[in-house]
Structure 1
Amino acid sequence: MTVTRHPTRTSSLPQATLARAVLWAALAVNVLIVWVMFFAAPPSKNGVLAAGKFIGLHAALLIFLQLILVARVPWLDRRIGMDRLTSWHRWVGFTLFWALVTHAMLIVAGFSVLDKVSPFKTYAALAGVPASLIGMLALFLMMVAVAASIRAARRRVQYETWHAIHLVLYFALALALVHQFLEGTTFRTSALTTAYWWTLWVFAVGAFLTGRVIMPLWRNSRHQLRVAAVVPESDNTVSVHVTGRRLDEMPALAGQFMIWRFPGFRSWWQVNPFSLSAAPDGRSLRLTAKAVGTGSAGLRDLPVGTRVFAEGPYGAFTALQRTRETTLLIAGGIGVTPIRALLDDPTLTGDIVVLYRVHTEADAVLLAEMRAIAATRGARLHLLTGRTGPGNQPLSPDGLRALVPDITERDVYVCGPNAMTNAVLASLRTLGVPRRQVHAERFALAS
């Protein structure tokens, strides 16, 4: 069986920089096109309506950007990473929400001035127009999704619950597109304008459906994944081994993650993102999870033979991001899973140093495996234990410099709890490690 290997990238232009440049350049070009079409169109009946339509056009562009950011386009995902795309998706979502609110208020105010009636009567009248009513419903549903995405709310609900609520956003976006289609005064002013918006609709919706529906269904039908073994790693951590057909043809890389469902054992809505905890070998896949919620805690009871539905692989936390010949891998807690996979990745060549931060050695899951791999590869593995405090700050700038004197000459991969990751990133900035050499994986996911 032949396993497809991907060459390590150490090019002068970081892949993430190239992808960001392409994405934002495409957005800038489309903003310019919208401006040209807006000012070339017949004037609105008053300035307030014109402002409302101008904001509405930009809101339409933000909808398309939202779809692209979560379409899981492989070219973007492997270069930027879903964690960063997720962060952009979140902030674009809030921007879109306020753009739609502003658009709605200006439209109501514009017609109120035009008809010389109160805004409340204008609002009621617009609610009787199908296009406007659909837009109002889209805005209301978006308010629900935005409320569920506020950090204070996110902390109060389980991931699975938030995931289900967040799906409302896609229905809201679909209604917004219908509203745009029915509202013809701005979007159908000429054949060129109509062709432009149809092209955007087809491209964005097509990319979303391909990445989120067609590709996952095709891959799962092709690979027929099933649970092969469930192995407890500690009192609260378990590894699940998955096998299937033609796994050597799955484009999975060490450091990536997949979104896992176990239909028949759990409901379809219970979905979790877990990193691959071993480098793909073409025969099996492995995920390792810590029991931090009902979803991950239940994996210990998975029966062998359970069907698996997996989306992915996703993520840019791979050897493709390398810019240097030597590497530092830093893991904290269960964030060790993609680090362990990278350590075993044959495409990650050169001198490798691993820092594994845990409270006690008993918390260091997969430690025996990592020591064996490090010994085979000639890598240096440092287990960093104990509570952080005076006299024990291994991830501080001084601590990192003492452990890895040539740290500024290495690519640095960091994965762990947010507090640890933030502390390490701050230390790397203090040490002067170039930003292009720093690769961080955060536990974040947008649906």
Structure 2
Amino acid sequence: MKVRRQENDSSRQRSSVSQDPIKELPSVTTVQSPPAPPTAIRPRVVARAGLYAVLAANAAVVAFLFAQAGFASNALIVLGRLAGLYGALLMAFQLLLVARLPWLDRRIGMDRLTSWHRWTGFGILWTLLAHAVFITFGYAQSSSMDPVNQLVDLAETVEGVLRAVVALTIIVVVGAVSGRYARRRLAYETWHFIHLYTYVAVVLAFTHQVAAGTTFTSSSAATAYWYAVWGVALGSVLVGRLVLPLWRNWRHQLRVTAVVPESDNVVSIHISGRDLDRMPARAGQFFLWRFLTRDRWWQANPFSLSAAPDGTRLRLTAKTAGDGTAALRHVKVGTRVFAEGPYGAFTAMHRTRPESLLVAGGVGVTPIRALLEDLEGHAVVIYRVAEDRDAVLYDELRELAHAKGAELHLVTGPAAPDRLAPSELARLVPDIAERDVFLCGPPGMTTTLLRTLRELGVPKQQIHHERFSLAG
């Protein structure tokens, strides 16, 4: 392994990880930006607490309205109705999580919201299964029918029950393909297509609740409450996933202005448009990009900004990972671009300390390079690659480090657990526990470094990382 180090004369001296001779870059004295004050209130904590509070408050309202409507004589039916109501509430909450509302996304991040969405989905699956089982067995107990015939009878005689059965079937299928075993074996396009049927299940479940829900119709307050819950959830999806992207793209009229190969398998695309100074993009964020050509308009790929937005242009840098990304170097200047975003919480908004450490692995350097441009205070940058030729944007990083008064370490060598082990990382950054750490790289590297940072005593609130699948 080899570590190449760059730092300015005013920077603190660092020891170096090395098994081969270290190549030192010329030192340059620069004027360092004044340290930024630590963030007093953590945006992610505020947003997360807000979501939990909203969910808890609505759970309490549901329980109150359920009790107010009265209880059935059969305990199984009571449990079934309550499970159904909480299943409906979780469905509405799940829609909010994937609505891509800017306020939530900037504070929590799409990757974490998507993870919460997944676990909420399993909660929906089990509560709605409980609803179906308890209701069926409860009515079967009252009518002396067997559960199968009772379910058929309910579907044939009670309005909305057949729609509920279809909705539950869809949710079971979606839950099955969302399991880890199935997800790893399905193509993303197949999984995504099946997942879209969740919206059909939501509509069917809502119409079932309107038609057959005793709590829904028990009072005008209950009816108004449930219409409000579904209206907010579905309205959030409509605004975040459709209205806002359409409006922003109509407003900014994005076009490709340059296509610059960075290496044999990495390309940068420069994009300009109207009023980009009014686009709320920050360094570290990403967009879902669609290049509106005949063969690519339907493909949306997540790529980070590889330079801080300057109000006149945007830039993404992508590595070839398939036919879609390989075709990017052939995109023509002038091509219209449809961009959804900006997304992600991997920004300076979440800083808690005046100094920072930025760690990049491979093409995960793209948001790191943009962040370095945006951050104030002393920064240390560690760029981990297998070979020197893999260090895309390294010349830009080196020039930027000179200008910002930052330290830059290029760590090369085959992937191995000890390349950035605790002892080596502590030698490079002795005061690591006093810094914010921004980390972006492949999953294996990210997992290893998160464990290393815990061993070095870096507080959890100072660690900021982006999933490589969304950032790269």
| CA deviation vs aligned residue, 1:112-135 (integer Å, no higher than 9, x gap) | 112111111112122224411111
Conserved 8 A contact 1:223-1:245: yes
Conserved 8 A contact 2:438-2:463: yes
Conserved 8 A contact 1:164-1:269: no
Map of 1:382 onto structure 2:
409
Partner-residue secondary structure (3-state), 1:350: coil
Conserved 8 A contact 2:69-2:214: no
Q: 2:442 aligns with which of 413, 417, 429?
A: 417
Instruction: Tell me, in whole angstroms, the C-alpha distance in 1 between the residues paired with 2:40 and 2:344.
Output: 21
**Hey, which bits of structure 1, 4+ residues long, moved more than 6 A?**
none
Map 1:50-199 to 2 at 5 A: 50-128=78-156, 129-199=158-228
Map of 1:400 onto structure 2:
425
Map of 1:341 onto structure 2:
370
User: Measured at CA, do residues 95 and 136 of structure 1 come closer, stay the same or move farther in structure 2, by a change above 3 Å?
Assistant: same
Map of 2:394 onto structure 1:
367
User: Measured at CA, do residues 181 and 77 of structure 1 come closer, stay the same or move farther in structure 2, by a change above 3 Å?
Assistant: same
User: Measured at CA, do residues 171 and 295 of structure 1 come closer, stay the same or move farther in structure 2, by a change above 3 Å?
Assistant: farther
Instruction: Tell me, in whole angstroms, the C-alpha distance in 1 between the residues paired with 2:51 and 2:469.
Output: 21
Instruction: Tell me, in whole angstroms, the C-alpha distance in 2 between the residues paired with 1:298 and 1:154.
Output: 26
Q: 1:270 aligns with which of 299, 315, 319?
A: 299
Partner-residue secondary structure (3-state), 1:384: strand
Name stretches of at least 5 consecutive residues in structure 1 with no aligned partner. Answer: 1-6
CA RMSD of aligned residues (A): 1.8
User: Measured at CA, do residues 318 and 350 of structure 1 come closer, stay the same or move farther in structure 2, by a change above 3 Å?
Assistant: same
Q: 2:377 aligns with which of 346, 350, 363?
A: 350
Task: Give the letter for the 2:249 counterpart.
Answer: N
Instruction: Tell me, in whole angstroms, the C-alpha distance in 1 between the residues paired with 2:209 and 2:330.
Output: 48
Conserved 8 A contact 1:83-1:444: no
* CA shift for structure 1 position 444: 5.0
Task: Give the letter for the 2:137 counterpart.
Answer: A
Map of 2:351 onto structure 1:
322
Map of 1:207 onto structure 2:
236
Map of 1:236 onto structure 2:
265
Partner-residue secondary structure (3-state), 2:185: coil
Conserved 8 A contact 2:268-2:316: yes
Conserved 8 A contact 2:362-2:442: yes
* CA shift for structure 1 position 379: 0.8
Conserved 8 A contact 1:265-1:302: no
Task: Give the letter for the 1:404 counterpart.
Answer: V
Map of 1:438 onto structure 2:
463
Conserved 8 A contact 1:324-1:410: yes
What TM-score comes out, normalization by structure 1 length?
0.93
Map of 1:4 onto structure 2:
none
Partner-residue secondary structure (3-state), 1:344: helix
| CA deviation vs aligned residue, 1:306-345 (integer Å, no higher than 9, x gap) | 2211111011100000011001001111111110110111
Map of 2:246 onto structure 1:
217
Instruction: Tell me, in whole angstroms, the C-alpha distance in 2 between the residues paired with 1:151 and 1:368.
Output: 40
Task: Give the letter for the 1:371 counterpart.
Answer: R
Task: Give the letter for the 1:134 counterpart.
Answer: R
User: Measured at CA, do residues 164 and 272 of structure 1 come closer, stay the same or move farther in structure 2, by a change above 3 Å?
Assistant: farther
2:51 pairs with 1:26: no
Map of 2:27 onto structure 1:
none
| CA deviation vs aligned residue, 1:152-194 (integer Å, no higher than 9, x gap) | 3333344344333322222222222222222231212111111
Larger Rg belongs to? 2
Q: 2:323 aligns with which of 294, 298, 316?
A: 294
| CA deviation vs aligned residue, 1:134-154 (integer Å, no higher than 9, x gap) | 111112222332233223333
What TM-score comes out, normalization by structure 2 length?
0.88
Partner-residue secondary structure (3-state), 1:292: coil
| CA deviation vs aligned residue, 1:190-245 (integer Å, no higher than 9, x gap) | 11111111111121111111111110010011111122222222222221211111
User: Measured at CA, do residues 308 and 9 of structure 1 come closer, stay the same or move farther in structure 2, by a change above 3 Å?
Assistant: farther
Instruction: Tell me, in whole angstroms, the C-alpha distance in 2 between the residues paired with 1:338 and 1:16.
Output: 19
Partner-residue secondary structure (3-state), 1:353: strand
Instruction: Tell me, in whole angstroms, the C-alpha distance in 2 between the residues paired with 1:443 and 1:132.
Output: 43
Conserved 8 A contact 2:95-2:234: yes
Partner-residue secondary structure (3-state), 2:82: helix
Instruction: Tell me, in whole angstroms, the C-alpha distance in 2 between the residues paired with 1:221 and 1:376.
Output: 36
Instruction: Tell me, in whole angstroms, the C-alpha distance in 2 between the residues paired with 1:94 and 1:197.
Output: 22
Instruction: Tell me, in whole angstroms, the C-alpha distance in 1 between the residues paired with 2:308 and 2:287.
Output: 13
Map of 2:19 onto structure 1:
none
| CA deviation vs aligned residue, 1:390-424 (integer Å, no higher than 9, x gap) | 8xx24211121111000011000011111111111
Task: Give the letter for the 2:376 counterpart.
Answer: T
User: Measured at CA, do residues 130 and 239 of structure 1 come closer, stay the same or move farther in structure 2, by a change above 3 Å?
Assistant: farther
* CA shift for structure 1 position 267: 5.0
* CA shift for structure 1 position 13: 2.4
User: Measured at CA, do residues 384 and 265 of structure 1 come closer, stay the same or move farther in structure 2, by a change above 3 Å?
Assistant: farther
Partner-residue secondary structure (3-state), 2:303: strand
* CA shift for structure 1 position 269: 4.0
Partner-residue secondary structure (3-state), 1:20: helix
Partner-residue secondary structure (3-state), 1:306: coil
Task: Give the letter for the 2:152 counterpart.
Answer: A
| CA deviation vs aligned residue, 1:86-116 (integer Å, no higher than 9, x gap) | 1111111111112111211111111211211
| CA deviation vs aligned residue, 1:249-300 (integer Å, no higher than 9, x gap) | 1000000011111233435542111111111111111111112233322222
